[in-house]
Chains A and B, each alone.
Chain A
Amino acid sequence: MQHAPQTLDAPRPPATAGEPFRLVASRDCQSGQCVFPAIPDSSPSNPRYEPVQLSEQAVLYSFTVIHPNPKSGQAPFVLVYADFPEKARVFGRLRLPEGRRPQIGMALSAVADGAGQYSFIPAAESDK
């Protein structure tokens, strides 16, 4: 069963690709720490957690640039860990303007990426 990341304020229409939106995590009721993606509703573990909507901005904690095997013809892409103020870390792709490098500490925003997926962009660009 595939679980797409959720947004809290459903049933609003799904976000359009590229549009900033808010990811939903689960907060451990005892520790106050969050996990992403949210624990599935059907999970017996669910009572241990409460849903929490993550802030619009996160901070880049670490990154890598993946260089696919040249035989694949795929272009390099950036993957990041993004830390949210709600004590949640989210893994995902970072879409950067050509020529720009990722940097630890840069501000990021999550955007809808179609098919229940998301990606990150530099926060300043999402605010435009």
Chain B
Amino acid sequence: MSTEVYIAGAAMTAFARHTDKSMQDLAQFAALGAMTDAGIGAERIQAMYNANVYGGMVLGQVLMRDLGLGGPALYNVENACASGATAVHLACQALRLGVYDTVLVWGVEMLTKLGGGTIPMQRNDYKTDLYAAQGMTLPTVYAMRGTRYLHERNEAPEILARVAVKNRAHGALNPLAQQRKAVTLEEVLQSRPVAEPLTLLQCCPSMVDGAAAVVLTTKRPAQGRPAIRVVGSAVQSGRIEEGCDNILDAEITARTARLAYEQAGLGPEDVNVVELHDAFTIAELLYYEALGLASQGGGADMLRRGDTALGGRVPVNPSGGLLAKGHPLGATGVAQMVEVTWQLQGRAEGRQVEGARVGLTQCTGGGIAGVDHAASSVHLLAA
């Protein structure tokens, strides 16, 4: 990557049930926060990227109209749960190509508008329609992986619950997380079963709203704090699942991570902090291995040793992750970058990973049958 891209400003709303606010309120709060954090005004913004899943057409224009930011190019980006990360990826491309030098990227979602429950699958697909009629939902897909994981690895459900205990303990330290209560293994295992082996506390909350924003620029920030560079940025789409594939290999995530590491000239051993897509506990265990943080088959031991807890070798989801912080889909990928930016700048009060210099964010977008995941994005940030 020849042209450096910096994260000059980062901000987000609390992830919560914002039933007294509009989507405009949330997106504008995050956008203004990121611009203030970057120390720039609207005149510096040359393009905008809005990430969202369920908000409707030309949403970005709706969100920014009253702020007076209209005029420059505004791109509306949807890639399911990877929408926010995809928007950052597209912005990085344009910056590196010299199309712009400073852009604003935000993600926003109001899942409370959907009324709770599992989020809807894509409906414009004959295969997803058929499988949804059989009962396929996103928890189902992850639960299938969970059952197979426990079978192949000869593990007990307790290993899945440990992920929830860790991330919810982290979330308790994050004032922006929706669920701030630490839980015990027993509480996780005894919470209501949802899709065996997953219990309620092993699923990210579905009634959550929020927004996050970053200012990206090719001009090195001079703010008296570490300049954060985007040194790797990759997005991939899911390949058709044919035959009887291994559902534990997280193929798209491993493939995307390889691209991001290659761009950055870094490897998993260089990463000090990770924000990954723990929509359900089993996902985090699989991604340890797909991202190369653990050897094949070594994810469970890595978790048991405490390597991925705050204070461990490579803390994963210090924000609380999707499980505790919440997962307002379009906002998630951007919020992960906000968290890692704060971590690399020493601004993650109460949950700081000391001395972190390199951070990784990873998002997957699902919601259709017949692929491992529909979309995957991995970013590497460096101080």
Contacts and interface: CB of A to CB of B under 8 A. Distances in A.
B244 interface: yes
B127 A37 contact: yes
Interface string A97-128: 00000001000000000000101000000000
A88 B370 contact: no
B130 A35 contact: no
Interface size on B, as a range, is 35 or more
Contacts of B134: 79, 91-93, 117, 119
Interface residues of A, number: 34
Given A62-B144, A91-B136, A2 B129 contact: yes
Contacts, number: 92
A3 B130 contact: yes
Contacts of B240: 35
Nearest to A86: B243
A15 to B, nearest CB: 16
Contacts of B214: none
B16 interface: no
Given A28-B242, A65-B196, A89-B245, A77 B135 contact: yes
A1 B203 CA distance: 32
Interface string A50-69: 00000000000111111101
A40 interface: yes
B151 interface: yes
A115 to B, nearest CB: 9
A84 B288 CA distance: 30
A6 to B, nearest CB: 11
A88 B244 contact: yes
A36 B308 CA distance: 38
Nearest to B145: A62
Contacts of B126: 1-3, 37, 40
B243 A62 contact: no
B133 interface: yes
Nearest to A65: B196
Contacts of B131: 91
Interface string A1-43: 1111100000000000000000000001001011101001000
B35 interface: no
Contacts of A104: 147-148, 151
B45 interface: no
Interface in B184-204: 192-198
Interface in B179-235: 192-198
A55 B349 CA distance: 59
Given A35-B242, A77-B135, A67 B369 contact: no
Those 9 A-B pairs whose CB atoms lie nearest each other, nearest first: A33-B243, A33-B242, A64-B143, A87-B243, A62-B148, A3-B126, A65-B196, A67-B193, A62-B144
